[in-house]
């Protein structure tokens, strides 16, 4: 059985994983982490929700962050507030042994002033929904993405299904051309391919599990509602 210690992660991250009770990587973590650590290429990862994608991109992302640099070095885009909060919490726990790493969640339905203050205190990782992030980018001297080294598009297909294509285009245009882009998606439809073609370079693709198959750990339920 593969262990996290064989994937090339630093000791501080391994210790945090041990404290969190992580014993062995899931298939997407086992395959994606070494690829993301060992290559400068952009990467498309096709894997279902519930397969451990947050650690698959979050751990390599933390390897890229300079804790002494308070500028925004990494940007994670996600479709929903709930996913932003979850990803930010996971990044905080993964980086518990890395003082200076400061992920901040940016999403609608919460105080934008509090989020601005959190950014100004020194957020080197932003985890955001596209709409709220675009709002902040439209304000003067609030958010600078010119030093972003890595962009993660998590659940890219869901963001596009929710109508965020124009927002994603505007946001990605505000980031450096030489950044690395990691796209995680359950499906690879036409719109996802268009985003990858336009904004990703030297792209590699990793498929984990069957294409468009649901994660084995997820139970599906449905309710039949009869019309009156």
Summary mean pLDDT of the chain? 91
Residue 228 lies in a domain: no
Residue 221 lies in a domain: no
Residue 54 lies in a domain: yes
Q: Which of 162, 163, 128, 160 is nearest to 142 (CA)?
A: 128
Residue 218 lies in a domain: no
Residue 226 lies in a domain: no
Residue 88 lies in a domain: yes
Residue 87 lies in a domain: yes
Q: Which helix (H) or strand (E) holds 202?
A: none
Sign of the torsion angle spanned by Cα atoms 202, 207, 211, 214: negative
SS3 23: coil
* Predicted pLDDT at 2: 84
- The CA distance from 164 to 216, in Å, is 29
Residue 60 lies in a domain: yes
Per-residue pLDDT tens digits for 66-100: 999 999 999 999 999 999 999 999 999 999 999 99
How would you list the strands of the sheet with 43-46, edge to edge? 103-106, 125-128, 74-77, 150-153, 180-185, 43-46, 204-207
Q: Which residues contact 90 (CB under 8 A, 6 or more apart)?
A: 54, 55, 58
CB 173 within 8 A of CB 202: no
How many CB atoms are located within 10 Å of the residue 38 CB?
11
CATH code for the domain of 22: 3.40.50.300
Per-residue pLDDT tens digits for 18-44: 999 998 999 999 999 999 998 889 999
Domains identified in the chain, total number = 1
- The CA distance from 34 to 97, in Å, is 21
Range of the domain at 107: 4-207
Structure pTM?
0.90
């Amino acid at each position: 059985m593969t262990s996290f210690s064989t994937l090339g992660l630093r000791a501080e991250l391994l210790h945090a994983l041990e404290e969190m009770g992580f014993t062995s990587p899931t298939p997407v973590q086992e395959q994606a982490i070494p690829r993301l650590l060992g290559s400068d290429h952009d990467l498309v990862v096709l894997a279902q929700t519930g397969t451990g994608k947050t650690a698959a991109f979050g751990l390599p992302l933390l390897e890229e962050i300079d804790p002494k640099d308070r500028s925004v070095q990494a940007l994670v885009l996600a479709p929903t507030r709930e996913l932003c909060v979850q990803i930010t919490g996971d990044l905080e726990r993964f980086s518990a042994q890395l003082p200076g790493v400061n992920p901040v969640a940016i999403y609608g339905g919460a105080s934008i002033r509090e989020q601005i203050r959190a950014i100004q205190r020194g957020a080197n990782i932003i985890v955001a929904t596209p709409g709220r992030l675009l709002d902040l980018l439209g304000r003067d001297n609030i958010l600078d993405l010119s030093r972003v080294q890595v962009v993660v598009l998590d659940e890219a297909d869901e963001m596009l299904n929710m109508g965020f294509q124009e927002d994603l285009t505007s946001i990605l245009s505000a980031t450096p051309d030489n950044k690395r882009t990691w796209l995680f998606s359950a499906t690879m439809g036409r719109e996802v391919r268009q985003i990858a073609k336009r904004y990703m370079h030297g792209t590699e693709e990793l498929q984990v599990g069957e294409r468009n198959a649901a994660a084995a750990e997820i139970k599906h339920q449905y309710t039949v509602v009869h019309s009156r």
